[in-house]
Amino acid sequence: MLQEEKSVNWKRLAAIAATGVLSVYTIVTLQGPHGIGALRQQIAKIQELHSQQGNLTKNVAEKKKRVESLERGQNIDMEMRRFGRTLPDEVEYKVTEPKVDAPPEDAELGPN
């Protein structure tokens, strides 16, 4: 019986060890402060900022449209009334509501 010598394939062992070390390093790195959790937070923040940008763009367009309509002279009557002003040839009449706290005058007389 001849005993066969088993030779160690050092290249194969080195490749397996390197793969194991790289796998452990990858797992530790992805779980760290700059890993997958941080990436998800950054993606969520980017989506939120895109949403805010869309809303701001919409607001700017609405305000530009309003400014243009005021520059063309449209809606000036409505804007003046909104601020409590009247046009030069108008007369303003104000009607006030009676106070609710005061009892009616007939209540003081009592029953007849």
User: Would residue 7 count as lying in a domain?
Assistant: no
**In degrees rounded to 5, what are phi and psi of residue 36?**
-65, -40
User: Would residue 77 count as lying in a domain?
Assistant: yes
User: Would residue 44 count as lying in a domain?
Assistant: yes
Question: In sequence order, what are the residues at sequence separation of 6 or more whose Cβ sits closer than 8 angstroms to the Cβ of residue 69?
Answer: 75
Please tell me the predicted confidence (pLDDT) of residue 54: 97
The string of pLDDT tens digits covering residues 4-59 is: 667 778 899 999 999 999 999 988 888 888 888 888 999 999 999 999 999 999 99
Which position has the higher pLDDT, 2 or 66?
66
The string of pLDDT tens digits covering residues 55-97 is: 999 999 999 998 888 788 777 777 777 777 777 787 878 888 8
Please tell me the predicted confidence (pLDDT) of residue 31: 85
Please tell me the predicted confidence (pLDDT) of residue 98: 74
Please tell me the predicted confidence (pLDDT) of residue 108: 59
Q: How many domains does the chain have?
A: 1
User: Would residue 82 count as lying in a domain?
Assistant: yes
Token pair for residue 63?
């305000």
Q: Tell me, what amino acid is at 53?
A: Q
Domain span at residue 68 reads 36-89
User: Would residue 19 count as lying in a domain?
Assistant: no
Given a cut of 70, is residue 109 above it in pLDDT? Answer: no
Question: In sequence order, what are the residues at sequence separation of 6 or more whose Cβ sits closer than 8 angstroms to the Cβ of residue 64?
Answer: none
